[in-house]
Structure 1
Amino acid sequence: MRVVIAGGHGKIALLLARSLTSAGDEVAALIRNPEHAADVRAAGAEPILFDVENTATDRLLAVVTGSDAVVFAAGAGQGSGVARKYTVDSGGSVRLAEAAEQVGTQRFLQISTMGAGQPPARGSDKVWAAYIDAKTQAENDLRARNLNWTILRPGRLIDTAGTGLVTLAPPPVGRGDVPRADVAAVLTALLPAAHTFGMTVELVSGSTPISQAIAQLSD
Structure 2
Amino acid sequence: MEKILIVGATGSTGKRIIEILNNSQSFEPVAMIRKEEQKSIFDDMEVQSVLADLEQDDFSAALKGIKKVIFTAGSGSKTGPDKTTEVDEKGAIKIIDAAKKAKVKKFIMLSAMDADEPSKHKELEHYLEAKAKADEHLRNSGLNYTIIRPGRLTDDMGMGRVKLATKLDEAGEIARDDVAFLLIMSLADPLVKNMTFEAIEGEEPIKSAMIELSKG
Q: TM-score range by the shorter chain?
A: over 0.9
- What does the per-residue CA deviation read over 1:119-153, in whole Å, with 9 as the maximum and x for residues that have no partner? 3227x23xx21101100100111111111101000
Q: Which runs of 5+ in 1 are unaligned?
A: none
**Contact 1:113-1:155 at 8 Å conserved across structures:** yes
TM-score (norm 1): 0.91
2:38 corresponds to which letter in structure 1? Answer: H
Question: Equivalent of 1:204, from 192, 195, 200?
Answer: 200
Name 1:120's counterpart in structure 2: 119
What one-letter code is carried by the residue in structure 1 that aligns with 2:202? G
SS where residue 105 of structure 1 aligns? coil
Alignment coverage as a number of residue pairs = 213
Whether the 8 Å CA contact 2:14–2:180 is kept in 1: the answer is yes
Using the TM superposition, give the Cα deviation of residue 50 of structure 1 relative to its aligned residue in structure 2, in angstroms: 1.4
Report the alpha carbon displacement of residue 90 of structure 1 after superposing the two structures with TM: 0.8
Partner of 1:18 in structure 2?
A: 19
In 1, distance between residues paired with 2:74 and 2:97? 18
Look up the match of 1:27: 29
**d(CA) in 2 for partners of 1:19, 1:213:** 20
Structure 1 equivalent of residue 67 of structure 2 = 68
SS at 1:114 equivalent: coil
1:4 aligns with 2:10: no
* 1:184 equivalent in alignment to 2:180: yes
The yes-or-no answer on 1:95 pairing with 2:118 is: no
Per-residue displacement from partner, 1:32-53 (whole Å, max 9, x unpaired)? 1333333334455322221111
SS in 2 for 1:120: helix
1:194 offset after TM fit, Å? 2.0
RMSD: 1.6
Change (3 A) 1:114 1:209: same
CA distance change for structure 1 residues 111 and 38 in 2, over 3 Å: closer, same or farther? Answer: same
Partner of residue 155, structure 2:
159
SS of residue paired to 2:69: strand
Q: Which has the higher helix share?
A: 1
Instruction: Quote the residue 1:40 is aligned against.
Output: 42
Please give the alpha-carbon distance, in whole angstroms, between the structure 2 residues aligned to 1:214 and 1:153: 14
CA deviation after TM superposition for structure 1 residue 61, in Å: 1.4
* Equivalent position SS for 2:22: helix
In the TM superposition, residue 174 of structure 1 has moved relative to its aligned partner by: 1.8
